[in-house]
Chain A
Amino acid sequence: MIRIENLRKEYDAKTVALDGIDLVFEDSTFVALLGPSGCGKTTTLNCIAGLLEPTSGKIFFGDKDVTQLQPKDRNIGMVFQSYALYPHLKVIDNIAFPLKQKGMKKAERYEKARKIAEMLQIEYLLDRKPTQLSGGQQQRVSMARALVKEPDVLLLDEPMSNLDARLKIEIRDEIRRVQQETGITSIIVTHDQEEAMAIADKIAILDNGRIQQYDTPEHLYHYPANLFVAKFMGNPPMNFIDAALSADGTRVEGAGFSLPLEQHMAQGGKKFAGHAVKVGVRSHLMAVHTEKVPQSMEMRLQIAENLGKEILISGMVGDSFVRVTVPENHDTFEQYKAISRSEKPLVYLTMTGVYNIFDTESGVNIALEK
């Protein structure tokens, strides 16, 4: 288990990279640090690796305080964005390099390097120099080098951002497979939320040097803790519809709609009664009706597009731009197109699944208020 306590990193008086990070990484889990560039995710990783010294705060590997230890004494494996292979060494020597530093005999370390190369399916590359490898191959070599010393924790710093889209998915699955096979606690830094969702058991979302939310991918996706997470997670992005909570905090009211709050929002509703809010709902969790139905929102339809597997309908609810996707069907598509060209291009939306209500001012998800 790795524990980070109140980690702070200031580069100078003005730039605070990390502003009190608390995280716990359970054994054998795969955790993603996700966030926009400059949010502090790589800084966090470098602090765990020992490449950066935190200004304050503590890092524990198990019960051992490693905050002041040098990287070489922490038994970590690290994969860098640029792979950072040693260009003057052959692949096998690259992989065996960490073992050489431990003073292991040549025969022994070559044997270990071979074994790990076999696991990553790169045995046939062992005699080449790094410059003779493609990006994906370099990636695998760098994974092998990180894993060969059987580290307590594997750190991956944007390992796939230099690969093309198809290779990315292949390597992503490879990393996931190797992590599950070895059971090494792994931490990956990424700015790609799809990558994080696919690979990680848990995701920590960072912004401005703070943890915004630390949770399982499913929970993050459906119950974002605040507006930032809601905007960051998901593609297409979540729809936000301007509204307000009624004075008694039991209904949410917006342009042309008034919905009663669901059971689990009752507490938050009371707390934020009367506040301006945004109703956040994923585009595929709404249904479109051509006739007015109870508890629906009126949308001025602007465009209906056929994306092949689904139809994308976009328009305005009040002053908020909303996108809805419905399953592809030729007749309904023609129908929506006709409506969008008509004089009164109105359709009616109902919620079909999870939605969240965020306080506009603080960004808090009132559904998670207890």
Chain B
Amino acid sequence: MFSPKRDETRPGYEMRKEHIAIGVMILLCLPILAIYVTFFAQAFVADGKLSLSNFRFLYTTIVMGQYTVPEMGPAFRNTVIFTLCVTACEVVISLMAGYALSRMRFTGRNFLQKLLLILRLFPGVLLLISILYVLMYTKLLNTLLGVVLVAIALRLPGSTFIIRNFFNDIPKDIENSALVDGCNRLTAFFQVIIHMVKPGIASISVFAFMSAWSNYLLFNTLILTGKVPIMATYLRSLSMNDQMIADYGVFSAMALVYMLPVFVFFIISQKSLMKGGFSGGKGI
């Protein structure tokens, strides 16, 4: 997988160039690899031995000198709720919006499509201050709901745009065929159309999931009390603590737990992510 297929018919100069390219790639990957190695080493090594004792925060509180590490439970629960809400809402809303933009003709459609692109150009960070005021005004500051709404809103233009392009690729004939075969627009959508944008749904849900799971910025700025901890802010609060900073082992173990779902989700969805489009047979 890593090295190119040995093929005797290929000229030597090409092979040499390839070897150089591989060498450069390995060199560039080494520092990143080193980080991961130390990271895993710290997580699984305690007191000079291979052990899982760093993971004991999963079932108990750890007392470290004068400082007690709070339970991970609430932070974990909040993160899961946040991620599921954001992913589900983002996928559902962008599916509906994308379908409408792709298939229906209404006034303002072009304007909306352009707006989607323009909104994607703005980094979300720019809007944070104004968002803060909006949340204060609507009394949603320091609540999970507020952050969920903001997170969905910031990501919607991007995913709507992506899914719209997937809808655009579906031949009109297929939809017409479903209509002739006895569907109305809604049943045609659920029985036929949605199956054809599966790769699109996979890609927006992966991106939504990953960005929601690792969202730190919004929680750090929009939750000013410690009331709604999530994994990211939980980890940070630990790393700021003087006593805690000494134990990188526990910290690495926590980070590993934090990383795991993203990893698993990616592995599950990468097959349909890679598929992309539904080319295959001609005329389909």
Interface on A for B, CB 8 Å cutoff? 46, 49-51, 70-72, 76-78, 80-88, 97-98, 101-102, 130-133, 135, 138, 145, 149, 162
Contact = CB atoms under 8 A, between A and B. Distances in A.
B32 to A, nearest CB: 39
Contacts of B196: 87-88
Contacts of B177: 78, 80, 84, 86
Nearest to A98: B181
B283 A77 contact: no
A55 to B, nearest CB: 15
B283 A138 contact: yes
B184 A70 contact: yes
12 contacts: A49-B180, A51-B179, A71-B176, A72-B179, A72-B182, A82-B171, A87-B278, A87-B280, A88-B195, A101-B182, A131-B284, A135-B282
A259 B179 CA distance: 58
B97 interface: no
A86 B195 contact: yes
Interface string B76-96: 000000000000000000000
B170 to A, nearest CB: 10
B192 interface: yes
B12 to A, nearest CB: 40
Lowest 5 CB-CB distances: which A-B pairs, in order? A101-B182, A88-B195, A84-B177, A131-B281, A84-B173
Contacts of A133: 281
B183 interface: yes
A87 B284 contact: yes
By CB atoms of chain A within 10 A, which of B176, B179, B180 has the most?
Answer: B180
A84 B174 CA distance: 5
A102 B174 CA distance: 19
A72 B183 contact: yes
A77 B180 contact: yes
A80 B173 contact: yes
B180 A51 contact: yes
B279 to A, nearest CB: 9
A98 B176 contact: no
Contacts of A70: 179, 184
Interface in B252-284: 278, 280-284
B180 A101 contact: no
A300 to B, nearest CB: 49
A130 B284 contact: yes
Given A86-B192, A87-B196, A72 B283 contact: no
Contact of B180 (A78, A138, A162): A78
Given A81-B173, A88-B195, A71 B180 contact: yes
A101 B195 contact: no
Interface of B: 171, 173-174, 176-184, 187, 192, 195-196, 198, 278, 280-284
A145 B192 CA distance: 15
Nearest to A103: B182
A87 B194 CA distance: 11
A132 B282 CA distance: 10
Nearest to B194: A88
Contacts of A162: 282-283
A196 B198 CA distance: 40
A81 B281 CA distance: 14
Nearest to A151: B180
A83 B180 contact: no
B276 to A, nearest CB: 14
Given A70-B184, A80-B177, 7 more contacts: A78-B180, A82-B283, A83-B284, A87-B196, A88-B198, A149-B181, A162-B283
Contacts of B283: 82-83, 135, 138, 162
Contacts of A71: 176, 179-180
B171 A72 contact: no
B281 A138 contact: yes
B193 to A, nearest CB: 10
A76 B181 CA distance: 8
Nearest to A145: B181
Contacts of A77: 180
Contacts of A149: 181-182
B281 A102 contact: no
Contacts of A101: 181-183, 187
Contacts of B195: 86-88
Contact of A98 (B182, B184, B198, B281): B182
A130 B179 CA distance: 19
A164 to B, nearest CB: 12
A88 B281 CA distance: 12
A139 B183 CA distance: 21
B187 A84 contact: no
A219 to B, nearest CB: 32
B174 A86 contact: yes
A250 to B, nearest CB: 55
B105 to A, nearest CB: 11
A306 B280 CA distance: 45
Contacts of A130: 281, 284
A56 B198 CA distance: 39
Nearest to A72: B182
Contacts of A78: 176-177, 180
A84 B183 contact: no
B37 to A, nearest CB: 43
A82 B196 CA distance: 16
A15 to B, nearest CB: 15
Nearest to B280: A131
Contacts of A145: 181
Contact of B182 (A82, A86, A102): A102
A71 B188 CA distance: 12
B284 to A, nearest CB: 5
